[in-house]
Every structure is written in C-alpha cells, then in structure tokens.
C-alpha cells in the first residue's frame, strides 16, 4: 500500500481497512512497520477531526473513586466536611484551589481535569443581598 497523509473521510476509511488487514502482522516485519505508520496517521487524523473532551471535574472525581473502590465519603477531609463534599458533588459549589490541590495530591487526579468548569446544570449562585434600587427601597410610585 502506498502510504500518504489522511486528508478525507474516504482516506480515513481506506486506512482503517488496511489496518484491519495488517492487525495480526508478525513483529518486526514490513507489515508491522506499515501498521505502526498507519496507526500514527490515524491517531493524528482522529485528534484533529474527532477530539475527545476531557471529563468534567465531578466525572473525574467519581471515576477515580470508582477505580480505587471508594465512595464519596473518602472525600471528607480532602474537599471539606461532609456537607461541603455533597455540595461539590451535586454541582452546587465549585472546587476551590485548595480542593483541587488536595484532590490532585490525595487521588492523583490531573489538575487540568479539576480546573475545568463543572459540566451539566452548572454551579448555582448563592443567594445574597440584592443591590439596592435608587430611591427608597420597597416604595412604589402610584399610577
């Protein structure tokens, strides 16, 4: 097979079919070398045309806990007290810099995953004091 860059979907499909033919190639053979080169071309094409988003912080935390056979109770003391842990895991509160550091150190979760905005419903804003309107608050002008 003539090896050339993958520029179109047709090229991509052609190369995938060739990789299937070469899949069981003997180690250190010409076919094995061709398979290595085609795999690199496919990876480059897919990285550009089919990017994979990083998981959000909550998904990354849940995944790591699952990998380690733990549940969210393992986050108490790392993220904060129990209430804080549940606020974060529900998406009600964003991760602070200290939480990100602790999660990275304690669980080895890459910091670039933890610093992303929380996906999904988004972090709810806390209720605060509303800005006062000009004039006397609470007094309506009559018509």
What confidence tens digit (pLDDT) does each residue in 38-91 have? 999 999 999 999 888 878 999 999 999 999 999 999 999 999 999 999 999 999
Domain ranges within the chain, ordered by starting residue: 9-49, 57-114
Angle at 61 between CA 60 and CA 65, to 5 degrees: 115
Of the candidate CATH numbers 1.10.260, 1.25.40, 3.90.660, 1.20.1050, the domain formed by 57-114 belongs to 1.10.260
pTM score > 0.85 for this model?
no
Find all residues with CB under 8 Å of 31, minimum gap 6, and list them: 22, 25
Report how far residue 135's alpha carbon sits from residue 54's, in angstroms, rounded to the nearest whole number: 49
For the segment 95-129, what is each residue's pLDDT rounded down to a tens digit? 999 999 999 999 999 999 999 887 655 444 444 44
For the segment 14-41, what is each residue's pLDDT rounded down to a tens digit? 999 999 999 998 998 999 999 999 999 9
Q: Which of 1, 30, 29 is nearest to 16 (CA)?
A: 1
Q: Which of 94, 114, 122 is nearest to 84 (CA)?
A: 94
Query: Is 79:85 a contact under the CB 8 Å cutoff?
Result: yes
């Amino acid at each position: 097979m003539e090896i050339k860059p993958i520029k179109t979907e047709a090229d991509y499909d052609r190369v995938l079919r060739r990789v299937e033919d070469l899949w069981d190639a003997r180690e250190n053979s010409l076919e094995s070398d061709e398979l290595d080169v085609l795999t690199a071309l496919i990876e480059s094409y897919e990285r550009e045309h089919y990017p994979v988003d990083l998981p959000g912080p909550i998904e990354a935390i849940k995944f790591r806990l699952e990998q380690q056979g733990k549940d969210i109770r393992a986050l108490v003391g790392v993220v904060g007290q129990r209430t804080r842990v549940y606020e974060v895991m529900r998406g009600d509160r964003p991760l602070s810099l200290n939480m990100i550091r602790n999660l990275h150190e304690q669980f080895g979760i890459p910091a670039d995953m933890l610093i992303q905005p929380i996906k999904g419903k988004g972090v709810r804003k806390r209720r605060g004091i509303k800005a006062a309107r000009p004039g006397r608050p609470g007094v309506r002008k009559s018509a």
